[in-house]
Structures are given as structure tokens and as C-alpha cells.
Amino acid sequence: MDPQSANSHSGADTAGLTAILGHQFRRPELLERALTHRSLAKELAAVGSVDQHVAAGDNERLEFLGDAVLGLVVGEALFQLHSDWREGELTVVRAQLVSRQHMARVAAAINLGSYLRLSRAEERSGLRSASTVLSNTMEAVLGALYLDGGLDPVREFARSYVLGDAAEQLAVELRSGAALGNFKSALQEHLQAARLGTPVYKVRGERGPDHRKQFLVEVRLKPDGGEPGIPLARGSGSTKKDAEQDAARRALKRLLAAADRGGAPAISASDAE
């Protein structure tokens, strides 16, 4: 296979995408790299291509940066737009807006898959429309946008496409009480998006008379294919469900705080009290 043949699966011209992003790249190679799946980078390297757009590699490093920038601008926007929301409400909505599922929907809405640069094999496999690839690529594009233009263009895109109608719908749900306290779902989405595993809940104790009973629940992290390990947090409530929600809220708060600090996501056993 020659480099030109491999390049036939490099995706649509990016002019339409830059118009949607509302930013003219001074370093267009950043956007090209953000759209380059690792499969194409490996394929072109294997055939000895000197394609300037993949010389710096695939989009995985930009995906890492974009994820961090996305969390910042969404948190900032929610803080500014909803001064009446409590910390827990802000935490739940941010987790939903930056989740892999929502970012895949954002990517699909702007037809991002058509711009993705894939290997021939992955093109045939249908990877261009895979939700995980779409969400990862969307984060990589935001990372490139930040490196080229700073936070302002990322803020504008996030307000139009990431928050947009979705944030307003969540605001309606919060006011009606439908989304309040849904910390278990938010925690699960966060852990799945970070590829850390799934939460597992266990009752650790009960106290008080039957009519005023309090339950103590611990949530632990269960890595994919492993046993429940590191305790994330403990919560209490008048029912097991309430205690689980409280534990999930505390765990999510600590995980997001650790991510913002750039630290490890795991919480020690002493922190889980």
C-alpha cells in the first residue's frame, strides 16, 4: 500500500469544521492532529509516509488536554449562569455535560465523524461513527482549539454546543426536583468516562430506632475485571437509597476535586470516612 492510498481515508476537508468551531487556526496542524486516530498514524508510519499532519502523532495527548479544558469551561459557565445552584447541583450537571455519552452527541451534532482521519481497516469497521471515538475526538479538538486560541473559543463552543439546550433542560429538571440527588448516575458516568471502573455500594452499619434509623453505606471502586477495591466515600441516610446517594455525592465531589488538582483519582481509606 502506498501513502496516497492510505490517505484516501483521511476524512473531509476541515473548512466546514473550522466554521462550526468559529476559529481560524493559526496552526492548522493542531486540528489535523486532533482528528488523527491512532490507527491512521500507525498505518502511515508502517508504509513510510512523511505526511506532515501525522508527523507529530495521533490525537490521544490532545484528548487528555481537551478533557481538562472542557471540565473547566463547563464548570465556569454553570457557575456564572446559575448563581442559585448549590455545589451538589453544579457537580451533577457538570458530570452529565462532560460525560462520554453527551460529548458523543455533541460530536454527532456537528458531524465530527466525517472529518476523522482513520486507517483503511478501521474505516471498513465503522469506527467513524463509534460513540467512544466521537467523544474522544471531540475532546481532542477542544484541546487543539485551546492550544491555538486560548480559552475564549473553547468557551464559545461549549456554550453553544455542550451546554446549549441540554443545560437548559437539566435546569428545568433541577427546578422540578427530577434530577436532584441523582448522584449515583453522575458518579457512574464519571467513572466510565475516566475508564476507572464501576461503583459498588455496601451497607456498613445501621443505628437508631426503627422509626429514625440511619444507614451507613460505603461506595468502592470496582476496576474492570477486578474485585471492589479502593473505598471512595461513605454516606448516611434514613434509607439505604438515600445513604447510597450521599456516598455517591461525596465520592463524585472528591474525584472531581482530585482531577482538577491533577492528582490521582483514588481516595484513601481514611478519606472515605
Active site (catalytic) residues: 67, 139
How far does CA 161 lie from the centroid of its chain? 14
Please count the other Cβ atoms lying within 10 Å of the Cβ belonging to residue 47.
14
Task: Answer yes or no: are the C-beta atoms of 146 and 155 closer than 8 Å.
Answer: no
Q: Cα separation of 256 and 176, whole Å?
A: 26
Total residues found in the chain within this entry = 273
DSSP 160: I
Phi, psi (rounded to 5 degrees) for 22: 70, 30
Q: Cα separation of 201 and 222, whole Å?
A: 10
- The four Cα atoms 229, 230, 235, 236 give a dihedral, to 10 degrees, of 40
